[in-house]
């Protein structure tokens, strides 16, 4: 596998820079390992926002994240739409874009990991965060009306 940064990774980094949101590629079939031109750095293979990283300090919560993310990806794939805007169990919102090869769900793109104000499910929010997270970052990204606040 090539150690050189691919155009695919450059594209992901450009989207992150322009949107100021995190991108995570869920690769269920290892296509980013099998195709040299699609190889990406490990940092793009998991959610890396501050809340996500703090949540993963607990082994159980990390397992819950994996289960929930797979379910969100399957829901996006089954929705019949090109993408799904969904909120995770910690109250962070992503745009979930399924990646299919033929009829097989191969993975997905998660763009976001942001707190969303005015989303349809107001029960989420920082009150939904687990109480065993040791601290919250002073500044977290939020989206309101399509514009990032911070």
Binned at pLDDT 50, 70 and 90, residue 110 comes out as very high
97: left (phi over 0), alpha (psi -120 to 50) or beta: beta
Give the SS3 label for residue 124. coil
- The whole-number pLDDT of residue 58 equals 83
- What is the CB neighbour count within 10 angstroms for residue 2? 8
The C-alpha atoms of residue 101 and residue 99 are separated, in whole angstroms, by 7
DSSP state of 45: S
Helix residue spans in the chain (DSSP H): 7-19, 31-34, 50-55, 59-78
Predicted confidence (pLDDT) per residue in 5-37, tens digit = 788 889 899 998 898 888 999 999 988 888 888
- Bridge partners, residue 107, by sequence: 27, 99
């Amino acid at each position: 596998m090539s150690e050189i940064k691919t155009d695919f990774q450059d594209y992901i980094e450009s989207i992150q820079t322009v949107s100021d949101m995190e991108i995570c590629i869920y690769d269920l079939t290892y296509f980013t390992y099998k195709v040299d031109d699609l190889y990406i750095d490990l940092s793009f293979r998991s959610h890396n926002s501050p809340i996500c990283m703090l949540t993963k300090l607990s082994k159980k919560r990390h397992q819950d994240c994996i289960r929930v993310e797979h379910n969100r990806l399957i829901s996006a794939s089954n929705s019949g739409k090109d993408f799904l805007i969904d909120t995770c169990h910690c109250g962070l919102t992503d745009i979930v874009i399924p990646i299919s090869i033929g009829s097989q769900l191969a993975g997905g793109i998660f763009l976001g990991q942001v707190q969303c104000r005015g989303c349809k499910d107001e029960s989420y929010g920082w009150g939904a965060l687990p109480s065993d997270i040791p601290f919250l970052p002073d500044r977290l990204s939020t989206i309101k009306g399509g514009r990032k606040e911070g």
